[in-house]
Amino acid sequence: MRKSFFPGTTGIFALFFVPYIVTIIFNGANTTLINKKFNVEMLLPVIVSSQIEDKYELETIKAQTIIARSNFYRTMKEEKNLAITLCQIKKEMEGKSLACVILQNKYEKAVTETEGKVIVWNKELKLVPYHELSAGQTRDGMEVFHNEDDSYLRSVHSLVDKNAKDYLNSVYINKNVLPERIEIKSRDSAGYVTEILADGKVLEGEAFRKGMGLTSSNFTIQKSGKEIRFLCRGKGHGLGFSQYGGNEMAKESANAKEILQYYFPEMDVLNIKSVNC
């Protein structure tokens, strides 16, 4: 049995995260990097707890942990700034109860059992997106970002997502706060709205979704008296890892690596030591 390298209930945040923030405030990020050895593994339980609930199977949380570790190292590589990275984590943690994080050893176990594992493309750290629930098929990276550099994000079927109790969500918005004429102009191959026509102006689908507070950009528009009904399928942007779909695979005995290889068929799970950082 592997020995856990985590502190007990005194807390990851109190022993690790706060000292780094204080050091950065007084000395700056560069001094912090020079004077302290940054231990990503000790911070990961806090990060992962903000990204996925502990109700999921352990293998699903382990898959999310590998994603979180990969995105953390990628951000560090691209930004080369510890302060920026920690600020992003702080934003993710807003509204999260620290007491709940400290007492959940499921996240610690997920980190321990995947120590050093990342998911990469051609041994390169890339963006690894995730969402709660797809509309039955995840999205294609090139279609979303219109860039060949994102072609490693392949669309895959996740039909089991349609069985989720919150697969369908309705949002009603008063007509008075919407453009007089609103219609869907285009969708991608997974059914997500890519462009909206609002009084003749073209709006980006995902930006519209976020602005209107919709659960997904895979939606239809229906008139309902003085309101417009947006019937949404799935939860989140639909790109990359579907947490619900991965969890259903875990229930059927799939491990974290198998789950990730399904949702990211062009990518490989490796140890960070073998990655081009």
Q: Write out pLDDT tens, residues 28-48.
A: 444 444 344 457 898 899 899
Residue 94 forms part of a structural domain: yes
| 168 and 97 within one domain | no
Q: Name the burial class of residue 205, with classes exposed (0-12), middle (13-18) and buried (19+) by CB atoms within 10 angstroms of its CB.
A: buried
| 247 and 124 within one domain | yes
Instruction: HSE, CB side, 13 Å, CA atoms: give it for residue 165.
Output: 0
pLDDT for position 83: 52
pLDDT in tens, 139-183: 999 999 999 999 999 999 999 999 999 999 999 999 999 999 999
Global pTM? 0.82
CB 68 within 8 A of CB 131: no
| 110 and 16 within one domain | yes
List beta partners, residue 203: 196
More confident residue, 83 or 169: 169
Residue 200 forms part of a structural domain: yes
CA separation for the pair 205, 217 (Å, rounded): 6
CB 52 within 8 A of CB 68: no
pLDDT for position 88: 59
Residue 145 forms part of a structural domain: no
pLDDT for position 76: 83
Domain count, the chain: 2
| 101 and 40 within one domain | yes
- Residue 54 lies in domain: 12-128+240-274
CA separation for the pair 121, 117 (Å, rounded): 13
| 247 and 218 within one domain | no
pLDDT for position 80: 57
Residue 133 forms part of a structural domain: no
Residue 149 forms part of a structural domain: no
pLDDT for position 168: 98
| 171 and 66 within one domain | no
